[in-house]
């Protein structure tokens, strides 16, 4: 027989008092499905060019499931990617899309203007990213003009400060701050009310405990009095029986005296 799932109860307790109890939600059931032939073929065709994360995103499978299938078929993911990365580190041009290719014209332009123009302007002219151009300059042994670099840095810092100042004085930021303060104040009020209710609950619980102790004490006293009452009734009954026996004995002696006369 299949085991029935027992309900799991969560109790919220503070200072030994159960505030409330809730039924814990059931854990989500894990959905598993077999790999189709199309998914396996896609894995075998692209495991050298894609990472495990990329394969899992394209197939809609979990990363662990993809790794399990790779281990099952003894496939090493990303071999071609590794070769491309190693070739790019050595300076060998690769055919991978997205790799920057430097032409002679671009290299000559960089050598000619690297000391007279700001680096961002050179990047914009060549259409390369800042890191690509800076890395190429280091490989060629070129250095930027420190005065131009300082000027660009100051302009960038001034622009950033202006943007920050505009943002911090904008209505959106002020509205966010107001909402944040309102939320903080609301949470503080809720916490105070909750603490007050908890203290009230604790006070009532203490009164209940004291009343229970008093009831137990009174019950013990009542039981003692009941026992004494029963004992006294038994003693009275024994005394009455004794009196009756003595009375009967006296009556019998008087009767014998009369009969003898």
What does the domain layout of the chain look like in residue ranges? 37-93, 195-253
* DSSP code for 117: S
Q: Tell me the per-residue pLDDT of 25-34, one tens digit each, with 9 for 90 and over.
A: 565 554 467 8
HSE toward the beta carbon, residue 79, CA cutoff 13 A: 9
State the pairing for strand pair 9-14/17-23.
antiparallel
Residue 229 has pLDDT above 50, yes or no: yes
pLDDT at 180: 86
Note the pLDDT tens digit of each residue in 81-135. 666 655 554 444 444 444 567 888 888 888 888 788 888 888 888 888 878 888 8
Residue 82 has a pLDDT of: 65
Give residue-wise pLDDT tens across range 162-199: 777 787 788 888 888 888 888 888 888 888 888 888 88
Question: 36-54: string of b/e by CB count within 10 Å (b at 16+)?
Answer: eeebeebbeeebeebebee
């Amino acid at each position: 027989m299949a085991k029935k799932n027992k309900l799991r109860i969560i109790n919220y307790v503070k200072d030994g008092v159960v505030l409330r109890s809730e039924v814990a939600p059931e854990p989500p059931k894990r959905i598993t499905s077999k790999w189709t032939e199309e998914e396996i073929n896609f894995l075998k065709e692209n495991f050298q060019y894609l990472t495990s994360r990329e394969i899992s995103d394209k197939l809609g499978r979990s990363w662990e499931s993809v790794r399990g299938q790779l281990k099952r078929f003894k496939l090493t993911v990303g071999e071609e990617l590794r070769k491309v990365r190693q070739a790019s580190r050595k300076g060998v041009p690769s055919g991978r899309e997205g790799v920057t290719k430097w032409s002679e014209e671009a290299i000559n332009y960089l050598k000619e203007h690297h000391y007279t123009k700001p680096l961002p302007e050179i990047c914009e002219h060549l259409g390369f990213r800042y890191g690509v151009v800076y890395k190429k300059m280091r490989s060629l042994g070129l250095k930027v003009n420190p005065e131009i670099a300082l000027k660009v840095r100051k302009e960038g810092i001034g622009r950033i400060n202006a943007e920050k100042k505009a943002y911090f004085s904008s209505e959106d930021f002020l509205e966010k701050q107001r909402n944040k303060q309102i939320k903080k104040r609301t949470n503080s009020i809720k916490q105070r009310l909750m603490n007050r209710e908890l203290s009230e609950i604790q006070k009532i619980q203490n009164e209940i405990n004291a009343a229970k102790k008093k009831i137990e004490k009174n019950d013990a006293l009542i039981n003692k009095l009941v026992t004494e009452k029963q004992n006294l009734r038994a003693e009275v009954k024994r005394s009455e029986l004794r009196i009756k026996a003595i009375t009967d004995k006296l009556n019998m002696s008087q009767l014998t005296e009369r009969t003898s006369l």
